[in-house]
Amino acid sequence: MAPTTPGLHHVTAIAGDPRANAEFYVGALGLRFVKRTVNHDDTGTYHFYFGDEQGTPGTNITFFPWTDRGHSGQFGAGQTRDTAYLIRSDSVDYWADRLASQGVAVDRSERFGETVLGFDDPDGIGLELVGSEAAREADAKPWADSPVPADHQLRGFHSVTLAVDAFEPTAEVLTDVLGYELEGEDDGRRRYRTPDGGPGSAVDLVETDADRGHMGVGTVHHVAFEAADVHEQERWRGVFRDHRLDVTEVIDRKYFQSIYSREPGGVLFEIATTGPGFTVDEDVDELGSTLTLPEWLEDERERIEAQLPEFEGPTAETGGN
């Protein structure tokens, strides 16, 4: 049985200062700080997750804040250029005003018949808010304590835009491996979508003349797609191997199980399971309020906490919990 073409699960990027990162995603964008843990592969670095009220897959942007010890990244081919969130069409003016009042420079444009607000986060990571009727069907859950009123809150992902030096190698992975379909072209951009066409199901490709990018502060580390469960994920491992793509073993990320494969255009793809989700170690009311560690790191908590950079926020004034 062929696995079902996956929509987006999360996007993970590298930030600098943890406080500036949390203040922006919670205080300015109104996402909930749903989990603070550490990078399992580098426990001296936090791993922050921002999403809807419950951290529903398809709403979470996550960060490794490297602080000023980390080197800057260089944007280029083989990287995610923009991560786009859905907003309601009638929320576009609200967001244009809100971002302007926060001192964020916004570029407003039309694309595939939808209005796009483009801007950078404090580390230069490309973000977009796309006014779309699809926002009404999205299953993102509003967060009651957000500084953004429920009707205007981000409704989960709209799409990601991957910059590649040539369309074909990455397009083939999207279509022949993952089962995406070419939906259309607009101004040199190709949009691919899952056959079911739900919200958060588009991947855009743009070609760039830039050299291959370098991972570091201000760049996206990987894009994760969602598999319903570990059986579906195992089927994906088989599909990747059948297409002669390297793919990792299953890795336990506590909140989901993950496999990774770097597509030939250079972008690191992950397939992450829907569950068990963020309420596996904190109640919904408590999400993000404490430093959580997986069982296999709990014995080292004292050492890990001592190594982490100082971080208090986000503050109550900016809507943090």
Q: What is the secondary structure of 294-308 as a DSSP string?
A: -HHHHTTHHHHHHHS
Stretch that binds Zn ion, among 6-14, 157-165, 208-216, 283-291 (CB under 5 A): 6-14
Alpha-carbon gap, residue 108 to 118, rounded angstroms? 6
The minimum distance between CB 108 and Zn ion, in angstroms, equals: 30
Q: Is 12 one of the binding residues for Zn ion (CB under 5 A)?
A: yes
The minimum distance between CB 241 and Zn ion, in angstroms, equals: 20
Nearer Cβ to Zn ion, position 53 or 270? 270
Secondary structure element (H or E) that encloses residue 60, with its range: strand 60-65
Q: Is 170 one of the binding residues for Zn ion (CB under 5 A)?
A: no
What is the C-alpha radius of gyration for the chain, rounded to an integer number of angstroms? Answer: 18
Nearer Cβ to Zn ion, position 12 or 67? 12
DSSP classification of residue 77: B
Classify residue 134 by burial, with Cβ atoms within 10 Å: 0-12, 13-18, 19+. buried
Nearer Cβ to Zn ion, position 13 or 224? 224
Q: Is 226 one of the binding residues for Zn ion (CB under 5 A)?
A: no
270, 273, 278, 288: which one contacts Zn ion (CB under 5 A)? 270
224, 227, 239, 247: which one contacts Zn ion (CB under 5 A)? 224
Residue bearing tokens 């809507």: 319
The minimum distance between CB 79 and Zn ion, in angstroms, equals: 15
The minimum distance between CB 163 and Zn ion, in angstroms, equals: 19
Q: Is 233 one of the binding residues for Zn ion (CB under 5 A)?
A: no
Q: Find all residues with CB under 8 Å of 289, minimum gap 6, and list them.
A: 282, 321
Say if residue 309 is preceded by a cis peptide, omega within 30 of 0: no
Nearer Cβ to Zn ion, position 194 or 257? 257
Classify residue 103 by burial, with Cβ atoms within 10 Å: 0-12, 13-18, 19+. exposed
The minimum distance between CB 12 and Zn ion, in angstroms, equals: 5
According to CB under 5 A, which residues from 61 to 120 bind Zn ion?
none
Q: Is 11 one of the binding residues for Zn ion (CB under 5 A)?
A: no
Stretch that binds Zn ion, among 34-42, 113-121, 224-232, 305-313 (CB under 5 A): 224-232
User: What token pair was written down for 173?
Assistant: 């992975």
Q: Please say whether the dihedral angle defined by the alpha carbons of residues 31, 70, 219 and 273, taken in this order, is positive or negative.
A: negative
Number of residues located near Zn ion, criterion CB under 5 A:
3
Residues binding Zn ion (CB under 5 A): 12, 224, 270
